[in-house]
Amino acid sequence: MATQMRTQVAGTRAGQRGDVAPHKRMSPGRYMTELGWRHLVGVVAVVYAAFPLLYLISASLAERGTLTGSNDLFSTVSFNNYADLGDTLFWTWFGNTLLIAGITAIGTVLMGAAAAYAFSRFRFTGRRAGLTALLIIQMFPQMLAFVAIFLLLIGLGNVVPTLGLNSKIGLICVYLGGALGVNTFLMYGFFNTVPRELDEAAKIDGASHAQIYWTIILRLVSPILAVVGLLSFIATFGEFIIARVILQSESNWTLAVGLFGWVSDLLEAQWGLFAAGAVISAVPVLALFLFLQKYIVGGLTAGSVKG
């Protein structure tokens, strides 16, 4: 017994002094089997995703303004294509897109959060039927109804011109008309994770439903609000079909419609301007994602700690 205790004490002292036996290095075969193949897959995925971006940036910096001979990446570097954007309506389209996508994202978050809160916290007649209807409607993409939307806006424009064809407000209303659905279901599931005891405690303190919703619930579900807002902004930012049908004058076009107009005619396609515009168009989406990322990750981490 004394010998065993002396052995343990000696081992403890050796550990404190740092006299620990070094780890054996992995053999190449074992490393590739356990870790190396993951690194290899990661490198292939990064190269596969980065090559189109590098090709697009290289084409935007090409002097000829075409894709001919652009297989040699960055063989020529010129900012003429970016400078020529000032002679077009690109920045007008850029502003239109930011306005439409921003308002649509905010409206989608507000409408989806209100609907999700109602379905999650209240019990009313038609609640289950409403959830089922949203589930069925979201199976059909909004672009399937573009003919009906076109005819509806023609008739609506005769009464309220600001909501008819060739109206940015009309396009925003069309986008917000399809805001409910999958967004409501995403928020509905997240709202259900918030304990109802918080609502009851707030009611005891005299808070109304509006105060509970705006000051307590929305703060706790901020991660899903950021996710829905980001997804809505990205989807609206790059939407083409409905925008092309509704927006008819060139000054009201969005970036998706305007950039397509530059390359729609293959004989007169302006690929240099298209590439430069596409590079600049990616900046707002990337900036918004980087801005919201900390809120998403931070909110999820805080929620997991709270349990």
Domain identity same for 130 and 264: yes
- Total residues belonging to the chain: 307
| Domain contains 4 | no
- Taking each helix axis as running N to C, give the angle between helix 127-137 and helix 182-191, from 0 to 180 degrees, rounded to the nearest 10: 130
Residue with tokens 């019990």: 123
d(CA 29, CA 245): 59
At 112, is the secondary structure helix, strand, or coil? helix
Beta strands in 153-223 (DSSP E): none
Q: Is the pLDDT assigned to residue 123 strictly greater than 90?
A: no
Confidence of residue 23 (pLDDT cuts 50, 70, 90): low
Pair 75, 195: CB distance under 8 Å: no
Q: Tell me what pLDDT residue 242 has.
A: 92
- Mean pLDDT of all residues in 169-193: 86
Specify the amino acid at residue 47. Answer: V
Nearest alpha-carbon partner for 134 in 121, 147, 115: 115
d(CA 263, CA 258): 9
d(CA 221, CA 113): 9
Q: Tell me what pLDDT residue 65 has.
A: 66
Pair 174, 149: CB distance under 8 Å: yes
d(CA 158, CA 165): 10
Confidence of residue 125 (pLDDT cuts 50, 70, 90): confident
Domain identity same for 47 and 196: no
- Mean pLDDT of all residues in 106-122: 92
Its pTM stands at: 0.81
Q: Rg of the chain over CA atoms, in angstroms?
A: 28
- The total domain count for the chain is 2
| Domain contains 10 | no
Nearest alpha-carbon partner for 93 in 280, 289, 291, 285: 280
d(CA 45, CA 50): 8
Q: Tell me what pLDDT residue 178 has.
A: 79
| Domain contains 15 | no
CATH of the domain at 283: 1.10.3720.10
Domain identity same for 128 and 148: yes
Q: Tell me what pLDDT residue 1 has.
A: 46
Where in the sequence is the domain holding 35, given as residue range(s)? 24-78
Q: Is the pLDDT assigned to residue 4 strictly greater than 70?
A: no
Domain identity same for 99 and 37: no
d(CA 186, CA 109): 11
In the chain, % of residues over pLDDT 90: 35
Q: Is the pLDDT assigned to residue 238 strictly greater than 50?
A: yes
Nearest alpha-carbon partner for 134 in 153, 149, 147, 119: 119
Q: Tell me what pLDDT residue 267 has.
A: 75
- Mean pLDDT of all residues in 192-205: 89
| 39 class by beta-carbon count within 10 Å (0-12 exposed, 13-18 middle, 19+ buried) | exposed
Pair 181, 137: CB distance under 8 Å: yes
Confidence of residue 88 (pLDDT cuts 50, 70, 90): very high
| 111 class by beta-carbon count within 10 Å (0-12 exposed, 13-18 middle, 19+ buried) | middle
- Mean pLDDT of all residues in 252-271: 89
Domain identity same for 93 and 61: no
Output the CA torsion 126→136→157→168 (10° steps). 110
Q: Tell me what pLDDT residue 246 has.
A: 93
Which of 90-94, 183-187, 196-200 bottoms out in mean pLDDT, i.e. has the lowest? 183-187
